[in-house]
Amino acid sequence: MRLICPYCRKEVHFIDMVLTKDMEYVFNVITRHELGKRYGTPALAYISLFAVTPFHLKSSKFRRILEEIVKLYDAQAFSYQKKLYPISHAGIIEAIDVCIKKNFTDVLENHNYLKKVMVGISEREGKGKSKQAEKDLRERESNVLAGGGRPEKELDSRLRGNDNTEEKPERITPEQAKTNIQRVGEILKTIGG
């Protein structure tokens, strides 16, 4: 069975892909992993920028590059110039798409161009998250000031990190007071008071 890559128009022999263990891993990722199921075409098009054809000769390089992309996709984070950047699945695929659409004159040697594109996308996503968090905080503040939100006591405890959502009784019952007095008396006797 022969397949044609939609981007580079190279012919791929399905039998060559299944013959080696490296290509067996590639086939499993394409058919079973979320990256392969949802975004198999862009991932394979990106890998083709590394000149991994013919597959039966360069299957280990193909597998290594695909493993790196799968790790990136699963981690949703990458490091570039000693800094860790979080990025969403959609951001990763957007960056891969940018790389595919750029007309490279040479074969890619590493993922540095992809990482440079992902840095911008990651920073954009981070700004969007911080804006949304600030908007949510302002909404909660306005609810509290309007009296429609949580009481201030609960809000203060949440801000201090005491996120106890259990309701505590305001006062103790007379039986509880009596048992507490007895316990305090026993403690004082053991201390010697």
Give me the pLDDT at residue 146, please: 76
Q: Contact, 35 vs 29, CB < 8 A? A: yes
Q: Contact, 13 vs 55, CB < 8 A? A: yes
Handedness of CA 36, 81, 52, 101 (dihedral sign): positive
pTM: 0.59
Give me the pLDDT at residue 1, please: 66
Give me the pLDDT at residue 164, please: 54
CA distance 77 to 160: 30
Q: What is the dihedral of CA 85, 88, 92, 94, to 10 degrees?
A: -120
Asked whether residue 176 is domain-assigned, the answer is no
pLDDT tens track for 148-185: 555 555 555 555 555 555 555 567 888 888 888 888 88
Asked whether residue 27 is domain-assigned, the answer is yes
Asked whether residue 71 is domain-assigned, the answer is yes
Residue 17 neighbours by CB distance under 10 Å = 20
Q: What is the dihedral of CA 161, 167, 168, 170, to 10 degrees?
A: 120
Q: In the chain, which stretches have pLDDT less than 50?
A: none
C-alpha of 181 from chain center: 54
pLDDT tens track for 101-116: 998 888 889 898 999 9
Q: What are the C-alpha distances in Å from 171 to residues 14, 154, 177, 178?
A: 75, 17, 10, 13
Q: Which residues contact 78 (CB under 8 A, 6 or more apart)?
A: 72, 84, 85, 87, 115, 118
Asked whether residue 183 is domain-assigned, the answer is no
Domain extent at residue 74: 2-165
Count of domains observed in the chain: 1
Give me the pLDDT at residue 74, please: 92
